[in-house]
Amino acid sequence: MKTFGKRWTAAAVALSGSLLAAAPAWAANPYPERPITLVVGYAAGGATDIVARLMAKSLSEELKQTVVVENKTGANSNIGAEIVSRAAPDGYTLYVGSIANTINRTLYSQLNYDFVKGFEPVGLLATIPNILVVNPKLPIKTVQEYIAYAKQHPGKLTCASSGSGSSIHLSCELFKMKTGTDILHVPYRGSGPAVADLLGGQVDSMFDNLPSSLPHVQAGKLRAIGVTSPKRLPVTPDVPTLDESGLPGFDVESWFGLVAPAGTPRPVIDRLNQAVNKALASPELQASYKQSGFFAPQQPNTPETFGKKIASEIDKWGAVVKSANLKAN
């Protein structure tokens, strides 16, 4: 896993000669020549879907070509990932991956795709913290009250997620480990359906990705009681961190990135990476990110740096999954 970045460096060197030879063909048929599809492994309305649609709009402008988003839901995004891993490596079918894909590598005993060998990293798209929200009907206004309520109702307080193994799920598992509470996990096929049931009162709480719950928090339909970032967020300045609420060191950051099927030519990867970075630098996308609660990745944002992040996240969350003895199949 730790050799992921090295593999891309070696591959780039090995391919350099053939890419130079192919340059006239690429120059004669510049990419892209037709619409591009971004596959999201979750239902519409969740954070992955939101960032994909924001990026699709910006990429369409940068690439001068239509970029559409397709939702292929199920198995904590594994279905969408598998579909793209088997797609033609031509740059026209891409996958918006997330932290969940690095968690799934350990969580699932069997997968029909390999998130390292089956994809070429393109670039990081965004990062976000998670936010602990509860249905306003619950008598809970602080993290400490949430802990007390969970201990008073062991196994009855419910915590929704976008799927088993998602960062939303593992935020809850980490919380349970740190507080010694018994909270019932309720997985959904995406953040959107989970938030819908949270609003309706079918579930009690959720460590949601910030963008999908933020509008409901601002509208007073959900109550935010904590964020998983090291510092308070500008969009929710009155919501304390989990750290300052009595859980020191509690820090979970979700991320989203663009990957292509393995074997996609390096000129296509470079063109996509260039378009992603130009989109991230645009005032329009920056404004949309700020409004939605996303954070743009730090520079440099190259296929190599993203590949190294994927490798480090696999190691990090693999340790958490094993420690919590979690298994999805």
User: What's the pLDDT score for residue 123?
Assistant: 98
Q: Which residues pair with 123 in a beta bridge?
A: 258
Q: What share of the chain is helix, strand, coil (3-state, %, to 5)?
A: 45, 20, 35
Backbone angles phi, psi at 312, to 5 degrees: -70, -35
Give, as one character, the DSSP assignment of residue 295. B
pLDDT tens per residue across all 329 residues of the chain: 444 444 444 444 444 444 444 444 445 568 999 999 999 999 898 889 999 999 999 999 999 999 999 999 988 899 999 999 999 999 999 999 999 999 999 999 899 999 999 999 999 999 998 999 999 999 999 999 999 999 999 999 999 998 887 889 989 988 998 999 999 999 998 888 999 999 999 999 999 989 889 999 999 999 999 999 989 998 899 999 999 999 999 988 889 999 999 999 999 999 999 999 999 999 999 999 988 888 999 889 999 999 999 999 999 889 888 887 888 86
The pLDDT of residue 11 is: 44
DSSP sequence for 114-128: -TTTTEEEEEEEEEE
Question: What is residue 135's predicted lDDT score, i.e. its pLDDT?
Answer: 97
Please give the Cα distance from 53 to 70 (Å, whole number): 10
d(C-alpha 244, C-alpha 217), whole Å: 20
In one-letter notation, the amino acid at residue 310 is: I
User: What is the phi/psi pair of residue 127, to 5°?
Assistant: -130, 155
Query: Residue 131 has which token pair?
Result: 């936010």
Instruction: Tell if the pTM clears 0.75, that is, is over it.
Output: yes
Number of CB atoms found within 10 A of residue 17's CB: 9
